[in-house]
Structure 1
Amino acid sequence: MAGQYRVPVGERDQVRAGLVIQMISVCFGVSPDELRTRGRLTPSGGRARRVALYLAHVGYGWPLERLSHVFGVSRATAGQGCRWTEDARDDPALDGLLDRLTEAVRDVCDAPRLELSADADLAASAGPR
């Protein structure tokens, strides 16, 4: 076997995972590149990635298998990350943050899509009249 088999991940799932990664990056002060790294992370990066897995699992309702494919981790790693984060919600600060982030993820993804026409792009670039 030349390489490890990887399930193709759709663009929509990649964009949604990217949203979660960016939000967690801002809240935890960890680089988005570190959260996307395969393999072992720093302790703070590992905690942040576990929270990102949990947020995608709860916010999008993704099953663990889909979560593992999108984030490029094993199903066991995705499950362990979600369990760790669920247990850590005993901390009121983390619980409140996760409630706010889950609501934000759902609000962004449930917002109606806006299709801009070429005319709108031209008007926006021309500036105020």
Structure 2
Amino acid sequence: MLDIQPSLMLFVFVIFITLLFLLNQILYKPLIAFMDERTGSIAKDLETSKKLTSNSNEMQAKAQQIINEAKAEAASIRQKAIDEAKLVAASKIEAKQKELEMSYEKFVKALEQDKESLKEAILAEVPKFRDAIKTKLSKL
């Protein structure tokens, strides 16, 4: 029935080897080359992505530093403006206080003068009052 035929086995072996050679040349080598190229491309893209990420992080840090410096400068400018405004307000308050003190002193002097003139007027009228009181008392 089934006999082993060496010539047929040799023929199948040759066809198998030929098929392996052709598959290796036509299919496996290009497929492996494509896969290697794809792996290299992925590695290259990953490296580029890491560089861009680190570059982005550096730029973010620089931007944050610039923002912090700007905030500090704005705070110092604001503080300087507040201090200047306080100085101006203090000088205006001081000038107004001096002006009020001077007007108060003038008022006190005027009041003193009025007091003195009123005192002199009353003292000048005292003899008249004395005479009027004497006449009223004598009538009683």
Higher RCO, 1 vs 2 (CA within 8 Å, ≥6 residues apart): 1
**Highest CA radius of gyration, 1 or 2?**
2
Q: TM-score if structure 2 supplies the norm length? A: 0.18
TM-score, structure 1 normalization:
0.19
